[in-house]
Amino acid sequence: MRRLLTLALLLGVLIPCSAQGAMLPPHKRIAVMIFESASGLFRDNLAVDTASTVITQALIENGYPVVNDAQVKKIKADKRSELLRSGDSKAIKALGKTYDVRIFLVGKATLAEAVRNDFGTYTATATVTIQGYSTQDGKYLLSQMASSKQLGGTPDEASQKALEAASRELAQRLISGQGQTIHGSHPTSYRYRDVTVTITGAQDFQQVNAILQKVQSHPATRQAMVTSYSSGNATIGASFGGDVKEILSLIRDTVQPRNVRTGPNSIWVDL
């Protein structure tokens, strides 16, 4: 009996600790809404729901309560679900109440057209992005992105393998909490400060994420993440040790903004 009690106490300590690094809050009902697109002819139905299936299965295996496929189809059939892609807070709250969802994971899976390689097989690239929203207040919670390049004997096989691999990687990041920041060690010569990049008029989240990745790639960036996203408007927060004009240069390398303004610790970008 004492051994059982000791084991129970250990589990009580260890299980919460293992969940502390997770990005997703535990015990909240999640709906995974991935919209997929594929480049090329006759590929509209390629790998349908692969990303959603892989990510949903991974969440279930790690103890997260997830909305079943039938319920997800009902949500997608709801006209308001189109507004989820732009992070519309009213739609997020309303759909959450209607379908008893606490967190929406809304994303896009993109398959580039597979190309024939020098080995006589095919190479395909897939990218999966996800944004998380709380239905309690409609607010943005998190974002993640993963890409994979895979080989296959046919274009469809290569694309399927790439999408599965990218989806598995993204699911692991969601569960483990990895991937929000980079640069594990930083030069001591940098004097870091908080810098805010405010973006308006973005086409989609992938455009915002492209800017984020550029900012993260700078050696003077200690940490950077998207802190809000809704209807084409986003905010990126960064701990940065350089001049804000360096971030502005990175942004201009990524997109062609219509208008920009800078302050001591702020950049406003209108796309």
Is 68 within 8 Å of 53 (Cβ atoms)?
A: no
How do beta strands 259-262 and 221-230 pair?
A: unpaired
Distances (CA, A) of 268 to 105, 113, 118, 233, 265: 27, 35, 45, 11, 11
pLDDT at residue 119, as a whole number: 85
pLDDT at residue 25, as a whole number: 81
CB neighbour burial string for 90-118, b if at least 16 within 10 angstroms, e if fewer: ebbbbbbeebebbbbbbbbbbbbebeeee
pLDDT at residue 3, as a whole number: 42
pLDDT at residue 73, as a whole number: 92
pLDDT at residue 8, as a whole number: 38
What is d(CA 149, CA 147) in angstroms, rounded to the nearest whole number?
7
pLDDT at residue 182, as a whole number: 32
pLDDT at residue 245, as a whole number: 87
- Look up the pTM and report it: 0.65
pLDDT at residue 147, as a whole number: 86
Q: What six digits make up the tokens of 114?
A: 């597979």
Is 236 within 8 Å of 202 (Cβ atoms)?
A: no
Is 133 within 8 Å of 24 (Cβ atoms)?
A: no
pLDDT at residue 74, as a whole number: 94
Q: How many other C-beta atoms lie within 10 A of the C-beta of residue 139?
A: 15
Of 97, 131, 151, 95, give the one whose Cα is nearest residue 204. 131
List, for residues 150-185, the tens digit of each pLDDT value: 999 998 899 899 999 999 999 988 888 754 433 333
Helix (H) or strand (E) holding 266: strand 266-270
Sorted by where each starts, the structural domains of the chain and their CATH numbers stand as 24-176 (3.40.50.10610), 193-270 (3.30.70.60)
pLDDT along the chain (271 residues), means of 10: 38 33 76 78 58 94 93 93 87 95 92 87 89 90 85 91 92 74 40 91 88 84 86 90 87 90 92 93
Is 155 within 8 Å of 194 (Cβ atoms)?
A: no
pLDDT at residue 224, as a whole number: 86
Return the SS3 of 235: strand
pLDDT at residue 33, as a whole number: 92
